[in-house]
A and B are shown apart, each in its own frame.
Chain A
Amino acid sequence: MIYYVSFGIVLLLFLALIAFLRKGIIETKYSLIWIFIFVVMAILSLSQKLLEKISSLMGVYYAPSILFLFGILFLIILVFDLTRRVSKLYKLLYTLIQDYAILKSELERERKR
């Protein structure tokens, strides 16, 4: 049962992603990693046998725990990547603000002439 719920959620999120991409709400390059996650999670959700194989390899008794494990690991990687992107944007914005202020001051100087 959990397998179907899991797959259903992944499918819904995937459709939401496509809708956002169509409207231009999400940038294409950010969507690549999401698509990868959705595809892997969908495969894991659909194949009970595969999940049980992985769980026995890892010595885990309850196979759906592996779904949680992968989900959490992906989230951690995703958030880490987002942190990296936010840091980069922060630096860009900082530079822009400072350069803007200096430009404004140059403009004022020109006006006063």
Chain B
Amino acid sequence: MINDSKILVIIPAYNEKDSIERTLADLLAFKEEKRFRNLDICVINDGSEDNTATIVKGMNVILVDLPVNLGIGGAVQTGYKYAYTYGYDLAIQFDADGQHRSSELEKIINPVLHNEWDMCIGGRFVEKTSYRGSLQRRLGIYYFEKIIQLLTGVRVTDATSGFRCINKKVIKLFAKDYPKDYPEPEVIMLLNKRGLKIKEVSVEMSSREMGKSSITPFRSIYYMLKVSLSILIRKIEKGES
């Protein structure tokens, strides 16, 4: 039963004092309403300078407080390590800024629930959704769709989406090895190399409420080059399958 699975919702948070309370309240309401008995919410405080941690401590969720900022890769991996340590069946990555919606969670949980798939990504572009990103962003995402398809044969229309659910096998893998910079596109190659199955489903997301994206226009090309190189290196990586 979907409601009995031991699920960990991992929320990496860096200076999210303006949105974290709302995001957590929304998730707690979802848990209550859908009666997910064994669902835990785990906020990874990535060395926030604001009072994010204080806000989180006042709510009925788990807080993992990193002493220094590690970045998105390091923070999320900490969540996967936690999930592995405490034997969770499924782990979900969920943004603190309000872009991800709890109403869409079941869409990414169901494909992975019975190990039909190893990872399920919630994409904004599989079908037409209400999401409107900047042209530069969408070009970048399209670029990744093509390069990943070229190198793996897997078609992922929204490779940068952090809204994803993984099973126990992948939790164990990520706890040991997870990319430190811009991990989302790279892990698709990581999983593909080990013959693990990735599914993408269509989800709705909100546009960023508060705060700014960490990818500025100037850094876009550098970011795309770096991630492309990382994906290539993962492809030729010496690994056990």
Contact = CB atoms under 8 A, between A and B. Distances in A.
A49 interface: no
A29 interface: yes
Interface string B140-182: 0000000000000000000000000000000000000000110
A21 B68 contact: no
> Binding site of B, secondary structure by majority: helix, strand, loop or mixed?
loop
Contacts of B59: none
A104 interface: no
Chain A: interface size category: 10 to 19
Contact of B237 (A24, A95, A96): A24
Interface in A75-103: 92, 95-96, 99
Interface stretch (B37-45, B87-95, B225-233): B225-233
A23 interface: yes
A107 interface: no
Contacts of A23: 238
B233 A92 contact: no
B236 interface: yes
Given A28-B230, A29-B181, A22 B68 contact: no
Contacts of A29: 180-181, 226
B226 A32 contact: yes
A35 B236 CA distance: 16
A24 to B, nearest CB: 7
A95 B68 contact: yes
Interface residues of B, number: 12
Contacts of A32: 225-226, 229
Interface string A13-57: 000001001111001110110010000000000000000000000
B58 interface: no
Given A95-B67, A96-B67, A99-B67, A22 B229 contact: no
A31 B237 CA distance: 15
B237 A22 contact: yes
A12 B225 CA distance: 23
A96 B66 CA distance: 10
A28 B232 CA distance: 10
Contacts of B237: 22, 24
Contacts of A28: 181, 226, 229-230, 233
A9 B225 CA distance: 26
A96 B229 contact: no
Contacts of A95: 67-68
B238 A22 contact: yes
Interface of B: 67-68, 180-181, 225-226, 229-230, 233, 236-238
Given A29-B180, A31-B233, 5 more contacts: A22-B238, A23-B238, A24-B238, A35-B229, A95-B67
29 contacts: A18-B236, A21-B233, A22-B233, A22-B236, A22-B237, A22-B238, A23-B238, A24-B237, A24-B238, A27-B180, A28-B181, A28-B226, A28-B229, A28-B230, A28-B233, A29-B180, A29-B181, A29-B226, A31-B233, A32-B225, A32-B226, A32-B229, A35-B229, A92-B68, A95-B67, A95-B68, A96-B67, A96-B68, A99-B67
* Nearest 3 interchain pairs by C-beta: A99-B67, A22-B238, A28-B230
